[in-house]
Homo-oligomer: A and B are copies of this chain.
C-alpha cells in the first residue's frame, strides 16, 4: 500500500478534528482508497495545550515553514486562517510543487487569483472543499458533478451563525441582540461576530462559488453586502404573515454574460425548500442549464463536518500524487477573461417595504403615486393596527422592477412629510 505524508498547519478545533478523523477512520480510508494517509508533521504556535488527542513525539512543532519544507510532507493542510501567514505558507508549499488543502475562504476570496496562478505555474493543486458549506460536498459537485452545465444561478444560505440567529429571532420573537447573545452562548457565534453577522463571511464564500462557476476572478470589492445587524424582529413576523421567511442569502445570477453577486437578508417564500433550512444548517441551490435545480444541504461548520471536507480533499490530492495526475481537475480554471460583475442597479428585483406612515386620510394615495411614477406596482399590502401613537406600519410586497427604480422611489418616499421613518426594505427572491 502506498503511503502519502501529510503536514498540518494549525492545530485548532478543525485541525484536531482532522487528526481525530484520520485516526478513527484510517482503516476505512485505506479500504476505500488503497492508500495510507500518514500525518507526519503538525505546526502550531501553541505546542503545549492538551487538545484531547495525542500525537507522537516530534510531530508537533511551532515552525510552520519547516513543516512545509519537510521532505516527509507531500500534502500541506492549511488551517491557521487569516491572510498573511497563511498566504506565505501556501505560497511556499505551491512553489515546492506540493498540493495544498485549505478551508481559508477569506484568503481565497482576497488572494485566490494569485494563489491559483501559482498552483498552475507549479503544476500542482489547491483544494478547498471546506471553504464553503463545511462538510457539504459542494465545491466538488460544482466543479465535477455539474461540469457540463452553464450555471444560471446560485443561491446560498452559507453562514450558520446568521441562519441560527434568524431562526431564533423568528421562532422565539427575539431581538437580534438577544439571539446573538444566545448564539454566542451556544458556541454558534464568535466573541467578535462582525465577520458573520455583517455578511463578510457569506460574501467570501459567494466570491469563491461565483469565480468557480463563471471562470474568472470575481473581486470581493464588487460584491454588494448587507448584514443582519439592523434587523427588527417585527419584519420577520410580518414576512411570516405574508408567507415568507427572512434568510441571509448569497445570490449569484448570470444575466447576458455578466454576473450579479449580492449578499443580503432576503425574503424567501415559505413553500420553497430554502425556507426549510433552519438553525446552523447551510444550503446551496444551483441552477444549471442541463441539470435544472440541484440543492445541497448540510452542516456548514463545526469540527467534524469541516474535517470531513478536508479529508476528502486530502484523498483527492493523495490520489493525484500517486497517479501522477496533478491538475487532473483543477480547482479553478480562469477561462473567462471578459467575465465581469454586473452593476447592481440593473438587476430585476422585487421588494418587501415596511413604511412608517402618519395615520391620516389620503396618505396611502401619496405613497402609491410615488411608486407608480417609478413604474413599481404593488402585489400585496399588509396594514397593521396603529402601534406607535400616530404612526402606522404598512408593509408592501411589490412586483418586479429595476433595482435603480426602487432606489429612486425609496429616496423620494423617505422625503415625504407623511413618512415618519426611513422605509425598511428587503429583497424578495422567488428562485
Contact = CB atoms under 8 A, between A and B. Distances in A.
A307 interface: yes
A299 B293 contact: yes
Contacts of A323: 323-325, 328
A255 interface: no
A288 B273 contact: no
Which of A28, A290, A328 is packed against the most chain B CB atoms within 10 Å?
A: A290
A305 B290 CA distance: 6
Interface string A1-44: 00000000000000001000110110011011110000000000
Interface in A317-373: 319-320, 323-325, 328-329, 333, 335-336
A294 B324 contact: no
A274 to B, nearest CB: 10
Interface residues of A, number: 60
A13 to B, nearest CB: 14
Interface in A108-127: none
A25 B147 CA distance: 10
A308 B288 contact: yes
A144 B308 CA distance: 11
B148 A137 contact: no
Nearest to A215: B31
Interface string A118-142: 0000000000010000011100110
A82 to B, nearest CB: 25
Given A137-B144, A144-B140, A297 B297 contact: yes
A333 B32 contact: yes
A145 B141 contact: yes
B148 A311 contact: yes
Provide the main secondary structure of the chain A interface. mixed
A312 B276 contact: no
A329 B336 contact: no
A235 interface: no
Nearest to A302: B292
A146 B294 contact: no
Contacts of A311: 147-148, 290
A315 interface: yes
B335 A32 contact: yes
B328 A305 contact: no
Total copies of the chain: 2
A319 B312 contact: no
Contacts of A288: 135, 308
Given A31-B333, A323-B324, A333-B31, A145 B312 contact: yes
A302 B141 CA distance: 19
A25 B150 contact: yes
A303 B61 CA distance: 55
A295 interface: yes
Interface in A46-71: none
Nearest to A31: B335
A304 interface: yes
A288 B419 CA distance: 54
Contacts of A302: 292
Interface string A174-194: 000000000000000000000
A146 to B, nearest CB: 7
A45 interface: no
Interface string A267-291: 0000001001100000000001111
A110 B408 CA distance: 64
A152 interface: no
User: Closest 3 interchain pairs by CB?
Assistant: A137-B145, A31-B335, A135-B291
6 contacts: A32-B215, A141-B141, A290-B311, A291-B304, A292-B305, A325-B328
Given A145-B309, A291-B309, A323-B328, 8 more contacts: A25-B148, A33-B147, A129-B145, A135-B288, A135-B291, A140-B145, A148-B307, A291-B305
Interface of A: 17, 21-22, 24-25, 28-29, 31-34, 129, 135-137, 140-141, 144-150, 215, 273, 276-277, 288-299, 302, 304-305, 307-309, 311-312, 315-316, 319-320, 323-325, 328-329, 333, 335-336
